[in-house]
Amino acid sequence: MTRLSEAILFAARCHDGMLRKGTETPYIVHPMEATAIAAALTQDEDILCACMLHDVAEDCGVTEEELAARFGARTAQLVMSETQLCDGDPRLTWERRKRSALERIQNGDRAVKLIALADKLSNLRAIRRDFERDAEAMFSRFHQHDKRKHAWYYLSVVELLRDEFSQTREWQEMRMHAQYVFCGEAQEEGETACVV
């Protein structure tokens, strides 16, 4: 069995019974989608395993040491680069965790940025689907209810990944979803920032 197959089985066990926020969608669909997005851009097994496992520390309490023992030190480090551990009320720590995530993306290498791209594109696909169905009410399911703060975060991610990935379909799709949800459909081509 390949390490990626093992990572898929391990993530499925860790996330078993979990659902995406405010939906009936099994949580495992998200890391599987993120891994498929990453696989369109790389065949690096450490990156693909880290995409599959990117939420097991944050959501399931798996330690970096356990990940390193099972999947190798680089995979474990990549998982931790995408992990936003919560040390208190998630509603009160949201902005601090997101600022830290943006710093990790900004200072990260291509592998770190690729995992962020895959994760955030998967998230934005789900956000757009729910936004088209529920409009502004969809933000009430998150710890942070303020759409403007989500806009700041996701549009910042788009900008931080621009230099590395702007020529890829994946980055362009991420930008399109972010603009649709946070800026409206009338955004000019080539423009990423908007006033929400």
What residues act catalytically? Answer: 58-59
In a domain, 189, yes or no: no
Domain containing 21 — which CATH number? 1.10.3210.10
In a domain, 190, yes or no: no
Place 89 in a pLDDT band, splitting at 50, 70 and 90. low
Amino acid at the residue 184: G
Quick count: other Cβ atoms within 10 Å of Cβ 31?
Answer: 26
Give the model's pLDDT for residue 188: 41
**Count of the separate structural domains present in the chain:** 1
For residue 39, what are the CA distances in angstroms to 118, 163, 170, 179?
A: 9, 20, 11, 25
User: pLDDT of 155-192, one tens digit each?
Assistant: 999 999 999 999 999 999 999 999 999 997 434 444 44
Task: Please state the rounded mean pLDDT for residues 31-51.
Answer: 98
Enclosing domain of residue 52: 3-183
Give the model's pLDDT for residue 90: 65
In a domain, 93, yes or no: yes
The pTM of the full predicted model, rounded to 2 decimals, is: 0.91
In a domain, 196, yes or no: no
84 has pLDDT over 90: no
Q: Strand, helix or coil at 22?
A: coil
75 has pLDDT over 70: yes
CA–CA separation, 104 and 161 (whole Å): 12
